[in-house]
C-alpha cells in the first residue's frame, strides 16, 4: 500500500491494519458481485417458456445493478489504498446458479438467485458490522448495496410463490 497523507479516520497511517482488513472484505464482495453478473447474464438468456419471461426480464435489469455494485466495491478498494485484483485471482463459488438440466426449469433459477442474494446479504451485514464506527464511508456504501440485495431477494421470493409446491 502507498503512503497515506491523511492523519485521521480509516485513512490514517496507524489504521493501516484495519484498512487492509476492510480491503480484504471488499475484495471478496467484489468477486461475489462479478460472479453474480456472470450467473445472472447466463440465466437471463438460457431459460425457455412463457413463465420464465418475467424472471428473465428481471435478471436482465439486475445484471446492470450488480455490475454497479462491483464498480462501487472496486472504487472503494482503491480509495483505501488497495489494488483491485486481476481475473487470475477469481475463484467461482456459485454452484447453485449453474444452468439447469432443462431450460424450462425456472424454479431452479429462482432458487439460485435467492441463494446468491442471501449469501450477499449475510456477507454485507458482516462488512457493515466490521466497519461500524471505524469506516463510515464504506459502512454507508454497503448499507445502500445491502438494501438493493434485500429488494432483489424479496422480489424472487415472490416469484417462487407462483409455484405452490415450492413455498
Ligand atoms: Fe449486488
Which of 66, 69, 67, 82 is closest to 4 using CA atoms?
82
Distance (angstroms) between ligand 1 centre and the Cα of 165 equals: 28
Q: What digits encode the pLDDT tens for the residues 149-165?
A: 999 999 999 999 988 77
Q: What digits encode the pLDDT tens for the residues 64-77?
A: 999 999 999 999 99
Distance (angstroms) between ligand 1 centre and the Cα of 35 equals: 10
Angle 100-65-87 from CA coordinates, rounded to 5°:
70
pTM of the model: 0.93
Query: Which residues hold their Cβ within 5 A of ligand 1, which is an ion?
Result: 33, 66, 69
Q: Are 47 and 103 contacting, i.e. CB atoms less than 8 angstroms apart?
A: yes
Q: What percent of the chain has pLDDT over 70?
A: 95
Distance (angstroms) between ligand 1 centre and the Cα of 14 equals: 31
Amino acid at each position: 500500500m502507498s503512503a497515506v497523507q491523511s492523519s485521521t479516520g480509516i485513512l490514517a497511517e496507524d489504521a493501516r491494519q484495519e484498512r487492509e482488513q476492510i480491503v480484504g472484505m471488499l475484495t471478496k464482495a467484489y468477486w461475489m458481485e462479478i460472479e453474480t453478473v456472470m450467473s445472472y447474464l447466463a440465466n437471463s438468456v438460457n431459460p425457455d417458456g412463457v413463465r420464465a419471461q418475467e424472471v428473465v426480464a428481471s435478471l436482465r435489469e439486475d445484471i446492470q445493478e450488480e455490475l454497479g455494485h462491483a464498480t462501487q466495491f472496486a472504487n472503494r478498494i482503491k480509495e483505501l489504498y488497495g489494488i483491485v485484483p486481476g481475473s487470475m485471482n477469481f475463484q467461482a463459488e456459485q454452484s447453485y446458479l449453474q444452468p439447469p438440466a432443462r431450460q424450462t426449469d425456472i424454479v431452479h433459477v429462482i432458487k439460485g438467485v435467492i441463494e446468491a442474494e442471501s449469501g450477499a446479504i449475510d456477507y454485507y451485514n458482516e462488512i457493515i458490522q466490521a466497519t461500524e464506527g471505524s469506516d463510515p464511508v464504506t459502512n454507508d456504501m454497503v448499507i445502500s448495496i445491502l438494501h438493493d440485495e434485500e429488494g432483489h431477494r424479496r422480489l424472487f421470493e415472490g416469484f417462487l410463490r407462483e409455484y405452490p409446491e415450492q413455498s
